Amino acid sequence: MIAAKARQHLILAVFTVSLLVNLSAALRSPQWLAIPAALIGWYLADLLSGLIHMLMDYRPCTPGKRLNDLFFYEGSRESDHYQALLRERMATIGPFERISYDFKNHHPRPDALGRRPVWRLIGSTVIVAALPLSLVGNVAQALLPVPGWIMAGLVTFLIGGGFAQYFHGSLHRAQNPWFITALRWAGLLMTPAAHQLHHDTLQRDFATNCGWSNPAINLLFRTLRARGYLADAGLVPSA
């Protein structure tokens, strides 16, 4: 347990330092293009959050992993039995499958997402995508004359993408840090009321950051459904 915590802290520390290095590159040569680039990066992160949400919601879980035992568990989820079962089932699946299950498990018990620790929310995303991409940015700026506005767009994309599930979790918490409130006031994060539109039907508004990309994603969802994809059976895990 201690070793796992230390590894988590190390990964988050490396990601933070890498992100700050990219941010410093953006600030060293400020340009007006940095503003639209940052907004585009934020939009793309929102779009990615929505596309992943849509696909993970409707992607069938891998048969044989018995995740339905967790999903339909009828006893207390604080009990030793459930916690042992959770550790056993999670140990048999990788980060991708875990993300898929978490999205499905979130629908019948949405407030549980707001109670999860930061690492549970962002760990897989940081390891699989955000940290590697941030390191690529570090290497690129060390070897090439990368314009500062590109780094500005990359930084906002990394923050929006890497912390997408944290922002999602904040939509299901009554109390949040001050910066969440500030970002909502600025229109850079969506409100719980806006996100509730997704939970009302599970067929619209999949983006979980600012929601700017929801019109495009909603059109894509309707198109795929009309062609026979994204069946409702994928919303719950199989045996």
- 73 phi, psi to nearest 5 deg: -60, 130
Stretch among 2-6, 180-184, 185-189 having the lowest mean pLDDT: 2-6
Per-residue confidence (pLDDT) for residue 1, from 0 to 100? 64
Examine the pLDDT at 3 and tell me if it is beyond 90: no
**DSSP code, position 129:** I
- How far apart (Å, rounded) are the C-alpha atoms in residues 223 and 239? 29
The contacts of residue 11 (CB under 8 Å, 6+ apart) are 123, 126, 127, 131
Query: Once rounded to an integer, what is the mean pLDDT over residues 120-139?
Result: 93
pTM: 0.90
User: Residue 177 — very low, low, confident or very high, per pLDDT cuts 50/70/90?
Assistant: very high
Q: What's the whole-number average pLDDT of the chain? A: 93
CB 34 within 8 A of CB 152: yes
CA-nearest of 92, 99, 106, 102 to 63 is 92
- How far apart (Å, rounded) are the C-alpha atoms in residues 115 and 117? 7
Interval 19-30: pLDDT, tens: 999 999 999 888
- How far apart (Å, rounded) are the C-alpha atoms in residues 64 and 15? 35
**Percent over 90 (pLDDT), the chain:** 71
| DSSP characters over 50-104 | HHHHHHHHHSPPPTTS-THHHHT--S-TTSHHHHHHHHHHHTTS-HHHHHHHHHH
CA-nearest of 136, 114, 119, 117 to 18 is 136
Q: Which residue has the higher pLDDT, 173 or 98?
A: 173
Interval 38-84: pLDDT, tens: 999 999 999 999 999 999 999 998 888 899 989 999 889 889 999 99
Instruction: Specify the DSSP element, H or E, that contains 110.
Output: none
**Percent over 70 (pLDDT), the chain:** 99
- How far apart (Å, rounded) are the C-alpha atoms in residues 100 and 31? 40
CA-nearest of 117, 119, 70 to 92 is 70
- How far apart (Å, rounded) are the C-alpha atoms in residues 183 and 235? 31
Q: Which residue has the higher pLDDT, 132 or 111?
A: 132
- How far apart (Å, rounded) are the C-alpha atoms in residues 86 and 176? 27
